[in-house]
Amino acid sequence: MSFGDYQIELYLGALGGVLPAHPFDYSDLEARALAALPPELRTYVAGGAGDEATQRANVAAFQRYALVPRMLRAPAERDLSVELFGRTLASPLLLAPVGVVGICTPDQHGDVHAAEVAAATGVPLIGSTLMSDPLEDVAAAAGDAGKWFQLYTPRNRDLAASLVQRAEKAGYEAIVITLDTWVPGWRPRDLASGNFPQLRGKALANYTSDPVFREMTGPDPDPGTVVMTWVGTFGHPVTWEDLPWLRSLTDLPIVLKGICHPDDARRALDEGADGIYCSNHGGRQANGGGAALDWLPDVVTAVDGRAPVVFDSGVRTGADVVKALALGADAVAIGRPYVYGLALGGVPGAVHQVRALQAEADLIMAVDGYPTLADLGPDALRRIPS
């Protein structure tokens, strides 16, 4: 069965009188999901840094590339599989870490539901440090699906070690260290609404369930103590000097998230990183930085096959996935599409968004004559003059 067969399921359902329950168009999905979210979450989920030019650039960058159709080599079957750190995945998709997904579902257990989406689709979840349920519960909900743990490195080294060790014990298969979020970016939408979920005690379950953090707060802390203790330890500015220490915390693969410069990619691998994650946090952290997609080719060249390259930022469609792969990404992580799917339609809504992305990517490769991911090289794309 090919991923593209999802459309057959949908057409057959329609013949039986059942039309699809979930949107296909991203703009429609976003509008309906934001309407379903409580007001205090809308700006946080949808907004970006500054005037959001970088956030818009991330999306627009994909339109500057065109996939060149190749005829007379129509592949009856496509192979979208990829191997990452010893696990073979049927498709190159990942669920990106999103720190407020836990509070994007009415029951406030969105992290568990994201893991259930991973279990249902086989698409690995990268769980955020900022969860609404402890990382162990989220890992259990993912079942046999792949799962990675994203670390916002705290200032307290014992707390960092505890979080990583818990993730390793719970079955997470890699540690993703986010480098660009040791201080909040300038987000006018959130500033105007006074919205910062963590300052309201949201998405802190990995801290309140951690023995080191509990020692920091003392027994039976009030909510204010929990929040201010979190404020006091969140956001260690990771430097090159920290990498040996971080490497010493685990034998799991370490993936560095936020790498956009080729020199940083080379040095990261030289100093012990196992994977490179090219991303600008979806434009949420720093404005004026251009589209992450524009930095991807040079990062891929610098890595030179030494490690896998993960990409996110601005991915909205299956066509976007194919283009990022053609530019050299080994895996493509999606953020808002599955979060909006969860917010609007729960686990079925997010599963639909994942399957729709897989189906569109598969069918584009079929129609345009690219049987495998190995066939998607830079020569499959043409840059369109602006």
* Residue 312 known to bind ligand: yes
- The DSSP code for 79 is B
CA-CA distance, 290 to 57, in Å (whole number)?
Answer: 6
* Residue 155 known to bind ligand: no
Radius of gyration for the chain, computed over Cα atoms and rounded to the nearest angstrom: 20
* Residue 314 known to bind ligand: yes
Q: Quickly list H helices, 122-242.
A: 135-141, 157-170, 188-193, 205-208, 211-217, 223-233
Integer angstrom CA distances of residue 78 from 5, 9, 83, 361, 376: 12, 18, 16, 10, 12
Sign of CA dihedral 168, 283, 35, 23: negative
CA-CA distance, 274 to 111, in Å (whole number)?
Answer: 26
* Residue 97 known to bind ligand: yes
- Identify which of 38, 344, 340, 52 has the alpha carbon closest to the alpha carbon of residue 195: 38
* Residue 315 known to bind ligand: yes
Question: Which run of H or E residues covers position 350?
Answer: helix 336-368
* Residue 44 known to bind ligand: yes
* Whether the Cβ atoms of residue 347 and residue 51 lie closer than 8 Å to each other: no
Please indicate whether residue 113 is annotated as part of the active site: no
E-assigned strand segments in the chain: 65-67, 82-84, 87-89, 93-95, 125-127, 147-151, 175-178, 254-257, 275-278, 309-311, 331-334, 381-383
* Whether the Cβ atoms of residue 173 and residue 253 lie closer than 8 Å to each other: yes
CA-CA distance, 129 to 101, in Å (whole number)?
Answer: 11
* Residue 335 known to bind ligand: yes
**Within 10 Å of residue 374's Cβ, how many Cβ atoms?**
8
* Residue 99 known to bind ligand: yes
* Residue 386 known to bind ligand: no
* Residue 258 known to bind ligand: no
* Residue 332 known to bind ligand: no
* Residue 128 known to bind ligand: yes
- The DSSP code for 252 is S
- The DSSP code for 372 is B
Q: Which of 22, 109, 281, 352 is catalytic?
A: 281
* Residue 352 known to bind ligand: no
* Residue 336 known to bind ligand: yes
* Residue 367 known to bind ligand: no
* Residue 236 known to bind ligand: no
CA-CA distance, 373 to 93, in Å (whole number)?
Answer: 12
Strands 65-67 and 381-383: antiparallel
Residues placed in the known binding site for glyoxylate: 44, 152, 187, 281, 284
Residues placed in the known binding site: 44, 97-99, 128, 150, 152, 178, 187, 257, 279, 281, 284, 312-316, 335-336
Residues placed in the known binding site for FMN: 97-99, 128, 150, 178, 257, 279, 312-316, 335-336
Q: Which residues are catalytic?
A: 281
